């Protein structure tokens, strides 16, 4: 599937057969693949491919806070570093973290913080590094989703996972999981995330225009998509433990 070429936006985002440009139906997700335990030197890690997006997540902690003055005497702190590699997009991205990456790191931290028991880890830090190797729309949602998996892989006590997806409007139709070109050439983009332990939204951003009825429809579409993605997260975690179990029972026989 070709990645987006900047400024070459098609006039229509639906084909004559009613499908989206990448062949999907309106409520269909791009193919998603997740694995955990992929970075040897991290306490926990995960890798995700979501359409053309490719993202690594590595988690370290609880560990000493650097620089020390950031440490909190009554709780641990969570730091998230979302970065896009220079080669992850069509036009070279400047290597230094820009405002967009700082904002996305902040919103992802806001999604992850409610999951953790930071009050049990005074004076320490949890650090989540998110490296976008290939980007094609929805990277903040994909990064949030894979970050939760890496935290779980690190064995950090968590209230639940968090899952994120973007829904949007293209050519006046509501669709799920916007690709890069749909994000840029569409009419609305609404990334959202749900924390499963309380079923609350922990991310809701909005860019574009829609009426209140469409907003309700959006949230209902998002809920269905989020449940589907949550299942893939759970399967990725279970896969690791099934493999360990098989290794152990193989070794005993």
Stretch that binds ligand UDP, among 134-142, 193-201, 215-223, 236-244 (CB under 6 A): 134-142
Q: Does 183 bind ligand UDP (CB under 6 A)?
A: yes
Stretch that binds ligand UDP, among 7-15, 54-62, 67-75, 129-137 (CB under 6 A): 129-137
Number of residues in contact with ligand UDP under rule CB under 6 A:
12
- Between CA 76 and CA 126 the distance in angstroms is 7
In the list 49, 127, 136, 182, the residue contacting ligand UDP (rule: CB under 6 A) is 136
Among positions 41-100, residues that touch ligand UDP (CB under 6 A) are 89-90, 93, 100
* Nearest to ligand UDP of 6, 63 (CB atom): 6
Stretch that binds ligand UDP, among 32-40, 114-122, 137-145, 148-156 (CB under 6 A): 137-145
- Binding residues vs ligand UDP (CB under 6 A): 89-90, 93, 100, 135-140, 180, 183
């Amino acid at each position: 599937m070709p990645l987006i070429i900047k400024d070459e936006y098609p006039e229509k985002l639906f084909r004559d057969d009613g499908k989206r440009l990448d062949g999907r139906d309106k409520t269909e997700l791009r193919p998603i693949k997740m694995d955990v335990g992929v970075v040897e030197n991290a306490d926990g890690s995960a890798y995700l491919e979501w359409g053309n997006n490719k993202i690594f997540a590595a988690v370290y902690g609880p560990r000493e806070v650097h620089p020390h003055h950031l440490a909190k005497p009554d709780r641990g702190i969570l730091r998230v570093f979302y970065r896009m590699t220079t080669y992850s997009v069509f036009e070279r991205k400047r290597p230094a973290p820009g405002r967009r990456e700082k904002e996305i790191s902040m919103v992802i931290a806001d999604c992850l913080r409610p999951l953790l028991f930071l009050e049990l880890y005074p004076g320490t830090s949890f650090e989540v590094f998110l490296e976008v190797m290939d980007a094609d729309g929805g990277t903040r949602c994909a990064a949030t989703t894979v970050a939760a998996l890496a935290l779980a892989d690190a064995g950090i006590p968590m209230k639940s996972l968090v899952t994120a997806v973007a829904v949007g409007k293209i050519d006046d139709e509501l669709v799920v999981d916007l690709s890069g070109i749909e994000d840029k050439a569409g009419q609305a983009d609404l990334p959202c995330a749900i924390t499963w332990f309380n079923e609350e939204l922990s991310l809701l951003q909005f860019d574009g225009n829609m009426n209140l009825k469409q907003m309700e429809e959006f949230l209902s579409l998002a809920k269905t998509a989020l449940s589907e993605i949550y299942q893939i997260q759970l399967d990725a975690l279970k896969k690791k433990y099934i493999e360990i179990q098989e290794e152990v029972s193989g070794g005993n026989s």
